[in-house]
Amino acid sequence: MPNTSRISGFRPVKHLNGSPYNGQANIYYVASAADEILVNDVVKLGGTADANGIPTADLCGATDVPIGIVVGIMPNKFDPAGSMTSGTMVLDIPAAAQIAASGAGYILVADSPDIIMEAEADTSATPAAVDVGLNVSHTNTANSLTRTAATVVSPAGVNTTTKATTSTLNFQIVGFVRKPDNEIGASAKLHVRFNRHQYLSVGTTGI
């Protein structure tokens, strides 16, 4: 039976030593989002900090160096300094589930370099068993999905057309997700790890 495509970004599931991902994350500030940012998106370091010293982040492109995976969108009235703020807290979906394009806000990022993530292969190329160990890039709009003000699920996925031994690709395929509804083939769910990471890669250029 062919796989069912359910693109939902990159989801941290465990660490390289086999221990489960337990939800740990650090807070980052998005000053002006390059595009809508959602849970399970890949983000990069922004190169500055907010007034409280919290580092900035933004959506990571295919050639950028990742810092981690978004695991939470903080409420729009969140203040890291603990001050009272005026205005209304946004609770409605989709606004509460994303940082809008060109918008600002705080996000929680799983930024440990050793996490393993589950992500779906884009239909641009079919993954095979011999691809395990190869490096790949990611796409922020897998299977031609788009990001809009109404998007609530990350449309990011593994760009399987890029699979190669190339050392500068951001991810490495470490296996296929072992589930009854997942088989090797089109739209397969893959386990990937960071091949490049802002906090680990040797000789990574600063932002």
Per-10-residue mean pLDDT of the chain, 207 residues long, equals: 91 96 96 97 97 97 97 94 83 95 97 97 95 97 94 97 95 96 96 95 62
What is the predicted pLDDT for the residue at 87?
82
Cis upstream peptide for 94 (omega within 30°): yes
Burial 44-64 (b: 16+ CB within 10 A, else e): bbbeeebeeeebbbbbbbeeb
* Cβ pair 117, 123 in contact under 8 A: no
What is the predicted pLDDT for the residue at 155?
97
Q: pTM, whole model, 2 decimals? A: 0.94
Q: How far apart are CA 14 and CA 51, in angstroms?
A: 33
- Bridge partner residues of 172 (DSSP): 135, 193
What is the predicted pLDDT for the residue at 151?
96
CB atoms under 10 Å from CB of 144, counted, come to 10
- Residue 100 is given by DSSP the state P
What is the predicted pLDDT for the residue at 157?
98
Which helix or strand (DSSP H or E) is residue 42 part of?
strand 42-49
Tallying the residues shown for the chain, one arrives at 207
- Residue 20 is given by DSSP the state B
* pLDDT tens string 142-191: 999 999 999 999 999 999 999 999 999 999 999 999 999 999 999 999 99
What is the predicted pLDDT for the residue at 193?
97
Q: How far apart are CA 138 and CA 23, in angstroms?
A: 22
What is the predicted pLDDT for the residue at 68?
98
